[in-house]
Amino acid sequence: MVAQETRRVLYMGPEDAAAVFAATPPLEALRFMLSLAMTEQAEDRLVEFVLAFLDISRAHLHSPRRREAFVKACKEDVDCPEGHCLKLLKAMYGLCDAGAAFDKKVEVSSEAMGFKVGLFSPCLCYNPVTKVRFFRHGDDFVVLGSRAAVKNYAEELGKYLIVKVRGVLG
């Protein structure tokens, strides 16, 4: 189910327009991660560094809504009386601020797992303890670290979101 948000009256001022945009990483982030994957060496030379590619399923549906939003029930929903609507508890695909809500969810989850969110871009994160780095573009993550640390990161992230490991290089 997807919402289709239409606005007859603009609910935000021009200065708040950034609230509906999701951050995107710089192109150099991928190049930097590939370079680090080839040159980074652990203190223990037997530890191998890997790049993992993660995908988040139903990304926006995990994110707390940032404002009140209501949707019409679909015709298949027989429990909703005629003329009533549903109040969303989570963000939904199709809302103007769904991407920004997911960004906030990832930021809060990452900080809870000990990551420092980038000052230049909130799509770049680093954990000074585990030495794991990641960047994300929407619901796609590229993670760099030791094989064990990356596996642990995917499992930890799985406590907050539905994670699919799409591939591991290394």
Say what the pLDDT of residue 166 is. Answer: 93
Selected residue with higher pLDDT from 14 and 31: 31
Average pLDDT over residues 123-149: 91
What distances in angstroms separate CA 82 from CA 70, 72, 87, 115, one per listed residue? Answer: 15, 10, 15, 47
Q: What mean pLDDT do residues 135-159 have?
A: 91
1 pLDDT more than 80: no
b or e along 75-114 (b: 16 or more beta carbons within 10 Å of the residue's beta carbon)?
A: eeeeeeeeeeeeebeebbeebbbbbbbbbbbbbebbeebe
- Residue 142 CB neighbours (<10 A): 20
Note the pLDDT of residue 92: 67
Quote the percentage of the chain above a pLDDT of 90.
Answer: 24
Residue 108's pLDDT band (cuts 50, 70, 90): confident
Cα–Cα distance for residue pair 36/1, rounded to 1 Å:
40
Quick: pLDDT tens for 65-107. 766 777 777 777 777 777 777 777 677 666 667 777 777 888 8
pLDDT at 9 over 70: no
Residue 149: predicted pLDDT: 93
Task: Tell me which of 105 and 10 has the higher pLDDT.
Answer: 105
Tell me what pLDDT residue 86 has: 74
Comparing 60 with 27, which gets the higher pLDDT? 27
- The most distant pair of C-alpha atoms in the chain lies apart, rounded to whole Å, by 66
pLDDT value of residue 3: 63
Whether pLDDT at 18 is above 70: no
Mind giving me the DSSP string for 36-53?
HHHH---SSTTPPEEEEE
Q: Identify the CA nearest to 136 among candidates 114, 155, 149, 117.
A: 117
Measured between alpha carbons, how far is 121 from 147 in angstroms, rounded to an integer? 25
